[in-house]
Structure 1
Amino acid sequence: MAGGAKARRLPRAVRERQMLDAAVRSFARHGYQTASMDEIAELAGVSKPLVYLYLNSKEELFTACIRREAEALLAAVAAGVEGGELPPDERLWAGLLAFFTYAAEHPDSWVVLSRQARTQGEPFATEASRMREEIAAYVAGLIGEAAREARGAATITERDVTALAQALVGSAESLATWANETPGVTAKEAAATLMNFAWAGLGNLMKSERWSPR
């Protein structure tokens, strides 16, 4: 009885965080369809009716998980880039490192965002796409800054910048999943791999050196 009273005195925000933490863990391990509300309640240390009282349904719970984890990832990338006057390549590197570090340190979150949210249809796919577009826009801004500072940047169009950002984000997502599933691969190593691959190509574009098929 005392334990139940103590649990009820927890602030709502704290209790919801516990439920979302448990839900992310369960959805990452079992997938949306198989994840059990009973297990989520047990992991959170609450009753199943309380989960429904706070978050209404399994669909709304999954949506809340996607939104929270997406916001945390975006905040981590922004925090990695901001704070200090760095040249464009260093800012891009900081953003990539923050991205891969977050994915590595929050593997359940990354599985929910990169795999589960995109394979369960709507409204979940839209939430995942919104996160991806925000990151792509952020990366496009960094590439655009680099282009404006570089010699020969006049040859790089806004369409080029957008396409490059989409390609870079797609590569980062695939590489983060591979790195998390491959023993011994660190976030820094994954970020450096993509940075070397991307910046070498960007460097050629900045010098108006484009590859074309023969």
Structure 2
Amino acid sequence: MTTIFSKAGTKGVPRADRERQILAAATKEFGHHGYEATTIATIAARVGVTKPLLHQYFGSKQDLYLACLNPVGDRMLDAIRAAMGEHDVKAPPTPLRVLNALFTALNGQRETWFVLYDPSLPPGSDAAHRAAYYRDAIDDLAATGTADLLHAAGTSDPLDADALKHAWRGLCTALVRWWINHPNQSPEAMSQRCARLFEASHTILAAADDDST
């Protein structure tokens, strides 16, 4: 199957617009294929520009990755912080608020989650360090949220909180992957689906507790 690339980067396109085109294409490539498998040549072809021009605008592949990563990481952190900072008693529980914030932040570029959570980044590189910074910041927020949830449930075991934090990251990744495979699902539909799944899980666990007594 032959991949057809657009020619968005033809002559006469203002530099700012061309840079946006390159970043959008690079984000999609990094998100879908990972850093290691993505090439500057593929991104240039997708946009319809030459490799030298792309290097002129963004430098190396790592520089281009960082130009894609930083707005993604900032957007996710801002969304999660805003969701966790909401204290309206009528608002959904914190986990659902955070998921809704993530779906909203990722809408239009769902693959950006995998720009941040990319296992193929070169160890020790600036790209790996910067991605780790954002992942650690998100994990810190998750750790705060999970510790609060467990405390409200009557447990304060730090290993419980750590396990739940890792489970939460895995859940978010699985949900985003499912969402990518179902492009007709809006952020609102995903949030509603998660609310139903959480409610179903609560009902199932409650029934299991009743059966064990």
TM-score band, normalised by the shorter chain? Answer: 0.5 to 0.7
The 5 A counterparts of 1:131-146 are 131-146=134-149
Superimposed CA distance per residue, residues 29-85 of structure 1 (whole angstroms, 9 cap, x where no aligned partner): 554345443453455566543432332201221233233322222222223333444
Other-structure match for 1:118: 119
1:53 to 30, 53, 56: 56
Does 1:64 pair with 2:64? no
Task: State the AA in 1 paired with 2:148.
Answer: E
Cα separation, 2, equivalents of 1:88 and 1:136: 23
Separation in 1, partners of 2:106, 2:205: 25
Structure 1 residue 138: Cα displacement: 1.0
Please say which of residues 171-180 and 100-109 is displaced more in the overlay. 100-109
Change (3 A) 1:57 1:187: same
The answer to whether structure 1 residue 187 and structure 2 residue 190 are counterparts is: yes
Q: 2:40 aligns with which of 12, 37, 41?
A: 37
Farther-moved stretch of structure 1 (117-126 vs 93-102): 117-126
Distance 1:168 1:200, change over 3 A: farther
Structure 2: give runs of 5+ residues left out of the alignment: 1-10
Q: Deviations over 1:95-130 (max 9, x none)?
A: 12222343454223134334xx21343234544443
Q: Which structure features the higher share of helix residues? A: 1
Matches for 1:84-99 after TM superposition, within 5 Å: 84-86=87-89, 90-99=93-102
Is the 8 Å Cα contact of residues 84 and 97 (structure 2) preserved in structure 1? yes
Contact 2:36/2:120, CA 8 A, preserved across alignment:
no
- Pairwise CA RMSD of aligned residues? 3.7
Distance across 2 between alignment mates of 1:21 and 1:175: 22
Q: Where does residue 156 of structure 1 map in the other structure?
A: 156
Q: Structure 1: which 5+ residue stretches go unaligned?
A: 204-208, 210-214
Equivalent pair of 2:69/2:115 in contact (CA under 8 Å): yes
Identical residues among aligned pairs (%): 28
Distance 2:204 2:142 in 1: 15
- Which of 11, 14, 23 aligns to 1:7? It is 14
Moved more, 105-114 or 53-62: 105-114
- Cα distance change, pair 26–159 in 1 and its aligned pair in 2 (3 A): closer
User: Distance in 2 between the 1:199 and 1:139 partners?
Assistant: 20
Write the letter of the residue equivalent to 1:27.
F
**In structure 1, what residue type is equivalent to 2:168?**
L
What SS does structure 2 have at the residue aligned with 1:119? coil
User: Would the alpha carbon gap of residues 78 and 202 (structure 1) be closer, same or farther in structure 2, given more than 3 Å must change?
Assistant: farther
Which amino acid counterpart does residue 192 of structure 1 have in structure 2? A
Using the TM superposition, give the Cα deviation of residue 21 of structure 1 relative to its aligned residue in structure 2, in angstroms.
Answer: 1.9
Q: Is contact 2:143-2:165 (8 Å) kept?
A: yes
CA distance in 2, matches of 1:92, 1:202: 18
Counterpart-to-counterpart distance in 2, 1:76 and 1:171: 17
**Counterparts of 1:143 and 1:89, CA distance in 2:** 16
SS of equivalent residue, structure 1 residue 121: coil
